Amino acid sequence: MSTVLEDICDGVREDVAARQISDAKLAEQIAAAPRPHDAYAALVPSGISVIAEVKRASPSKGDLATIAHPADLARQYADGGAAIISVLTEQRRFKGSIADFQSVRAAVEIPLLRKDFIVTEYQVRESRAIGADLQLLIVAALSQTQLRDFYQMTRELGMHSLIEIHDEAELERALDISPKIVGVNSRNLKDLSINADAFERLLPLIPQDVIAVAESGISQASEVAHVRDLGARAILVGETLVRAGEPAQAIRRLLGE
């Protein structure tokens, strides 16, 4: 029986094949894309940074919010002090799109994370073509060769990578490629269960010269303070913010402001 992650990745490959353009046209788009922002530098300041997510739905929770205008939400995130804005582009389970990403890119000047299941070289180049500054690479979705190659390709294109892990074995694989940013996702994408102790187990193991990001399940300032004490220098928050009536204020509350 396939896992949730495998099912998602199979769907992603089908969707990529349906929209894929020629290498020449993609190269033209990359050349015309805005110059990359430094997503790593955006996370370096002291304290803890917020990566605020434009997220309509998830496999575990279903529909989260009706986001008619992603650009408007992104502007509110920027006003609230988000360091980076994450935009879902996976269509089937998260109801995101390339169009969502492009509308946000046109609306804000801060770095953007393309949040998707990157399983092909084409998607890596596509991320730069649509103006991404940072993209997600999920260790569990890739072979070690793919992880290393996609990471190197991302760097060559001027972007950074958020390397996502869920357990100690994946952290070891991540550190093997000398990453600059590693995210701990407390949700297991294979069966959608929450590993309640993931942050406690894994965040302290991430070297201090690597930016550690806590992903999933953060909704209160006390939880932000907790992961910061464990070594996180950024949090990635979606559900809490898209369900908040005033996203900018919600970000400030998370930061204890």
Give the torsion sign (CA, 103, 4, 231, 160).
negative
* Active-site residue flag, 164: yes
Instruction: Indicate yes or no: pTM above 0.85.
Output: yes
Catalytic residue among 86, 127, 161, 164, which? 164
> Using one digit for the tens of pLDDT, what is the confidence trace for 82-102?
999 999 999 999 999 999 999
Total of domains in the chain? 1
Q: What is the pLDDT of residue 156?
A: 97
The yes-or-no answer on residue 90 being catalytic is: no
Concerning whether 53 is annotated as a catalytic residue, the answer is yes
Q: Give pLDDT, residue 61.
A: 81
Catalytic residue among 58, 86, 127, 185: 185
Question: Among residues 221, 107, 87, 71, which one has the least CA distance to residue 162?
Answer: 87
223-254 pLDDT tens trace: 999 999 999 999 999 888 988 889 999 999 99
Nearest of 148, 157, 150, 206 to residue 177 by alpha carbon: 148
Predicted pLDDT at 213: 98
Q: Is the pLDDT of residue 257 over 80?
A: no
Q: Which CATH number belongs to the domain containing residue 79 in this structure? A: 3.20.20.70
pLDDT band at 121 (very low <50, low <70, confident <90, very high): very high
Q: Provide the mean pLDDT of the chain.
A: 94
Which one has a higher pLDDT value, 150 or 2? 150
| Predicted local confidence at residue 40, as pLDDT | 97
Task: Summarize pLDDT for 31-45 with one digit per residue, the tens.
Answer: 999 999 999 999 998
185 is catalytic: yes
Beta bridge partners of residue 88, listed in sequence order:
115
Domain that holds residue 178: 4-254
Neighbours of 124 (CB within 10 A): 25
Q: Is 1's pLDDT higher than 70?
A: no
Band the pLDDT of 195: cuts 50, 70, 90.
confident
| Whether pLDDT at 142 is above 80 | yes
- Nearest-angstrom CA–CA distance, 83 and 66: 23
Q: Which of 27-31, 60-64, 120-124, 161-165 has the lowest mean pLDDT?
A: 60-64
Does 57 score more than 90 pLDDT?
A: no
**3-state class (DSSP) for residue 211:** strand
Q: Which of 86, 90, 95, 115 is catalytic?
A: 115
Q: Which entry of 90, 126, 170, 215 is annotated as an active-site residue?
A: 215
Q: Choose the catalytic residue: 49, 55, 58, 127.
A: 55
